[in-house]
Amino acid sequence: MPEQQSHPEVRDAVARLCAEYPDEYWREKDRDKAYPTEFVQALTDAGYLSVLIPEAYQGAGMDLAAACAVLEEIQRSGANGAACHAQMYIMGTLLRHGSDAQKQKYLPDIASGALRLQAFGVTEPSSGTDTTRIKTRAHLDGDHYVVSGQKVFISRVEHSDLLLLLVRTTARDEVEKPTQGMSVLLVDLREAVGNGLTVRPLETMLNHATTELFFDKLRVPVENLVGEEGKGFSYILDGMNAERILIAAECIGDARWFIDRATQYAREREVFGASIGKNQGIQFPIARAHVQTEAAALMVDKACRMFDAGEACGSEANMSKLLAADASWAAADMCLQTHGGYGFTVEYDVERKFRETRLYQVAPISTNLILSNIATHVLGLPKSF
């Protein structure tokens, strides 16, 4: 099958690791809504979650293409990398904007897996996609920020030691531009939970360990401010290109898993005395999904190369995320259809992956918001909001 194969040695090694966590493992975790602790530990021990941390901080110091290879292979094996993918990229904000003291304090331990930084708190119930309207406030009280407010859909908090939190430090109507006046705090969850922070699990259609967070005068030491007060929004934006390209790589992995499974099933399943794969009505949707996936993979590859070359790649990151998420969702639908009734049964794993890949039409950024960005920033059409 023709496809991009950057970092083949990383891909092989990740595929071998994932083979030790077969379909049954993920099926059980999904049924029990349990966190795949063993899998995440194995990835951590093998160093795959620290590929983007520079060697100076004891990470592997590899490029984004290597991180994409890791995540694509995880998804392609049938696993769910969403359990830990954020450990790879959330630290980017700390790396780019943190003080030397913060980097020395946290990054080596994140690289070794001693500290988990895989929770990222942006979304709020009342602001939704309109991040500048977040209401979670932090004000200075001596040498602490005091945080009050609420977040929703914040994933992996129960499996993280640290949370990167976006708060308002100056009210929206007191700043020149709505994007000003927000700040990023590094919250130590080991101290915060039960002392001003309440975490409430949120049940969703997929096993994603997502939660609601309630802040009631949580005290965060002032030294945990990342970068400058008031500039948090731009720091968060900075990290979004890497996040989008990595999620796009995951979607490519998902799409390839669906295509592999559909092809295999279409060959083996016999109805009307022949394999269903003999019918063009079955073949063509599989072939179309393959074409769509390979095209999306080229855009992911392009965005990744631009990112690794230090070029501005906001539009390419957005386009790759949209194309890859569309390819994986189309492949998911095709795979379910190819499996007929069996696609709905838990034992074939198609319905689980179908639910999991659907998320990427909405998070971390929804398809509409990407289209809006392309329409206004690339094509110069008037803004609608």
Ligand X SMILES: Cc1cc2nc3c(=O)[nH]c(=O)nc-3n(C[C@H](O)[C@H](O)[C@H](O)COP(=O)(O)OP(=O)(O)OC[C@H]3O[C@@H](n4cnc5c(N)ncnc54)[C@H](O)[C@@H]3O)c2cc1C
- Positions touching ligand X (CB under 6 A) are 120-123, 128-129, 153-155, 204, 208, 210, 359, 362-366, 368-369, 372, 385
Q: Which residue is nearest to ligand X (CB)?
A: 128
> Least Å distance between CB 302 and ligand X?
24
> Least Å distance between CB 366 and ligand X?
3
Specify the residue, 120 or 258, whose C-beta has the smaller distance to ligand X. Answer: 120
- The position carrying tokens 């394999």 is 275
Specify the residue, 89 or 265, whose C-beta has the smaller distance to ligand X. Answer: 89
**SS3 state of residue 206:** coil
Task: Please state, as a whole number, how many other Cβ atoms lie within 10 Å of the Cβ of residue 287.
Answer: 14
Backbone angles phi, psi at 215, to 5 degrees: -105, 125
> Least Å distance between CB 33 and ligand X?
12
CA dihedral 15, 18, 22, 25 (to 10 degrees): -160
| DSSP code at position 377 | I
* Helices (H), ranges, 188-313: 189-192, 232-268, 280-308
Q: CA angle, corner 99, sides to 94 and 101, nearest 5?
A: 105
Q: Supply 31's token pair.
A: 């049924």
118 sits in the region (left: phi over 0; alpha: psi -120 to 50; else beta) called alpha
Specify the residue, 206 or 282, whose C-beta has the smaller distance to ligand X. Answer: 206
Specify the residue, 31 or 133, whose C-beta has the smaller distance to ligand X. Answer: 133
Specify the residue, 301 or 351, whose C-beta has the smaller distance to ligand X. Answer: 351
Task: Say if strands 117-121 and 162-168 run parallel, antiparallel, or are unpaired.
Answer: parallel
**SS3 state of residue 194:** coil
> Least Å distance between CB 363 and ligand X?
4
Pick from 51, 57, 50, 49: nearest CA to 101? 57
> Least Å distance between CB 250 and ligand X?
13
> Least Å distance between CB 119 and ligand X?
7
Pick from 55, 43, 83: nearest CA to 359? 83
Backbone angles phi, psi at 35, to 5 degrees: -85, 135
Specify the residue, 60 or 202, whose C-beta has the smaller distance to ligand X. Answer: 202
Amino acid symbol at 128: G
Specify the residue, 22 or 201, whose C-beta has the smaller distance to ligand X. Answer: 201
| DSSP code at position 186 | E
Specify the residue, 163 or 276, whose C-beta has the smaller distance to ligand X. Answer: 163
CB 218 within 8 A of CB 195: yes
> Least Å distance between CB 125 and ligand X?
8
> Least Å distance between CB 131 and ligand X?
9
Beta bridge partners of 186: 164
